[in-house]
Structure 1
Amino acid sequence: MRKQNWLGGFLALTLLLVPRFSLYAAEPTPTPTPAPTPDLNQVFPEKTGNALGDRGERTVRIQQRLRDLGYLSYRPTGYFMNMTQKAVTAFQNNHSLMADGAGVVGSETMEYLFSSLAKRKTVAPESGGVRPKDNPYPRAGSLTEWAVVNAVLPENAQFTVVDTATSIRFTAVRVGGQGHMDIVTADGESYQNYLKIFSGKVSSNKRPVVVEYDDQRYAASLYGMPHGENTGVGGGMQGYTCLYFQGSLSNGLGIVDAEHNANIQIAAKKEE
């Protein structure tokens, strides 16, 4: 009898506790509270209107764009000093921009600077150079999209670059580049030929060229102003220079360069 009473009590207690445990088991695990999104204005507390004395990543981008357009002749530093201010003022004067104030990159200047409306600075002919004789290269390059060329010509690939107006050629090596190709000359002789294309000295001009690689020819546009950090190669070239193909964009900024595009059409013998 005692055994039956004990079993009955145990069953009663079990029936009493099981629903309680089931209730707790059915409760969902609380969803963790997501970490708040950082305030980028606190992470990068640079003012939206850049002026003399500012510094930071935004200034680097402004300087790089001014350099691409020919208003700056030195490498981006991230420091908005006198030369950057003068370059901004020259850009504003060339576009009749007055809303932000002279030398200040406010919303109006920033919008124009990073748009297709941005005009390149008119560069006077450089003195002291020797213009190479015209000797047109007889072969056209193909209008091959950048995505294709980017895959065909990997980093460290060597190829030949030929100026379409003079047939001067040099050997180049790809060292990087995202929206377009960053290249250096392969040796000292190649660097001297690179300079000859630009009248014997570095220049902010751009030239139509044909790239020869693995029995293929690609229409391209070459920049005459090396920039960036030294790569340790280049035959005397300080830094690297840019090579644009069909559909290329500026690194990081993702901007179409109208002059490079026009040169690419010339190199493909499809000048409009």
Structure 2
Amino acid sequence: MHGRRNYKLSIFALVLAFIILSANLAGTALAESTLSWGSRGNEVNQLQQKLTDLGYNTYGIDGIFGKNTYSAVTSFQKARGLQADGIAGPATWAALKGGSNVYVLKSGDSLNSVAAKYGTTPQEIIRLNGLTSWVLNPGTRLVIPVSTPSRGGARYGEMADWWTVASQVFTIGTTATITDLDSGLTYRVVRKGGTNHADCQPLTAADTAKMKQAYGGSWSWTRHAILVNVNGRVFAASQNGMPHGGRSIYDNNFNGHFCIHFLNSRTHGTNRVDPAHQAAVHKAAGR
């Protein structure tokens, strides 16, 4: 009798442990449910946290999809070339996870040819974009899933302190090759100034075009995890993609400079560490 009772208690304990473990895993994975104005709960918390980490302020992580979250979602969608409808659906979640690009269909393109180019399937493109037909017109903007390379040392950069290491290697006047971690696109930049972080400019118009492509065709303040290669030494870093302030290169189609942050670097305006930039630095280091 006691043996049967103990057996039942053991089964109950195992089931309870499984339920708790499943709940914990669900809480740590990035949600993919379609969320919109009025949505509430843990998935909205995750959405707000991710947007905040990327520099889109939701003014609180409260699990309530209201005016501020809607504004942050639409700003993110515009920056990534998505339909700015304020709804966090499959395409928006894919972009939030850093696993998508935006591709504009050209004459002669098909879903099959685009899928083959990016190593995905037509069905996945259809799902992400909510398509109802395989026949699409040139000029159609498609969200394309991008497979993320496996985590390996060669994919990530050295997480070096800005003040004692990175600023001493990436000195003013030095040219570096940038690799956008998510898209894999590369372009050259030159550090033109900056004390708390590196103020940089694309070297040529071709480099500007590549950088803009990495941003989905639109400039934005979104933080991107990047690798900064300075004479063969590769650092984990973060950049924004918004031309601002002064410039000293006038034939690169970039009206100003942009910021590159490293570990422990600070903003120039507030002299504070920017959490979103630091999160991107850690991502670029594979942390």
Please tell me the TM-score bracket, short chain as reference. 0.5 to 0.7
Contact 1:227/1:239 (<8 A) preserved:
yes
Which position in structure 2 is the counterpart of 1:199? Answer: 216
Which position in structure 1 is the counterpart of 2:235? Answer: 218
In structure 1, C-alpha distance between the alignment counterparts of 2:179 and 2:80, rounded to whole Å: 23
What per-residue deviation string (whole Å, max 9, x for no partner) do you get for residues 18-44 of structure 1? xxxxxxxxxxxxxxxxxxxxxxxxxxx
SS in 1 for 2:265: coil
Matching residue's letter, 1:223: N
Mapping 1:98-247, distance limit 5 Å: 122=72, 123-126=75-78, 129=81, 131=102, 134=146, 136=148, 139-147=155-163, 148-233=165-250, 235-247=252-264
What per-residue deviation string (whole Å, max 9, x for no partner) do you get for residues 86-131 of structure 1? xxxxx9xx46xxxxxxxxxxxxxxxxxxxxxxx9x72240179362
Question: Is 1:268 matched up with 2:220?
Answer: no
State, as a whole percentage, how many aligned pairs show the same letter.
23
In structure 2, C-alpha distance between the alignment counterparts of 1:234 and 1:183, rounded to whole Å: 15
Matching residue's letter, 1:184: Q
Aligned residues: CA RMSD: 2.8
Question: Is 1:254 matched up with 2:271?
Answer: yes
How far off its partner does 1:231 sit?
A: 2.1
How far off its partner does 1:228 sit?
A: 0.4
The higher radius of gyration belongs to 1
How far off its partner does 1:254 sit?
A: 1.2
Runs of 4+ in structure 1 over 3 Å off: 68-71, 127-130, 135-138
Matching residue's letter, 1:140: Y
Contact 1:220/1:263 (<8 A) preserved:
yes
In structure 2, C-alpha distance between the alignment counterparts of 1:256 and 1:269, rounded to whole Å: 20
In structure 2, C-alpha distance between the alignment counterparts of 1:127 and 1:229, rounded to whole Å: 23
Give me the TM-score of the superposition, normalised by structure 2: 0.50
Which position in structure 1 is the counterpart of 2:129? Answer: none
SS in 1 for 2:220: coil
Question: Is the alpha carbon distance of 1:216 and 1:158 closer, same or farther for their aligned partners in structure 2, counting shifts above 3 Å?
Answer: same
Structure number with higher helix proportion: 2
SS in 2 for 1:206: strand
Matching residue's letter, 2:102: R
Give me the TM-score of the superposition, normalised by structure 1: 0.53
**Which residues of structure 2 form unaligned runs of 5+?**
1-53, 61-68, 82-100, 104-143
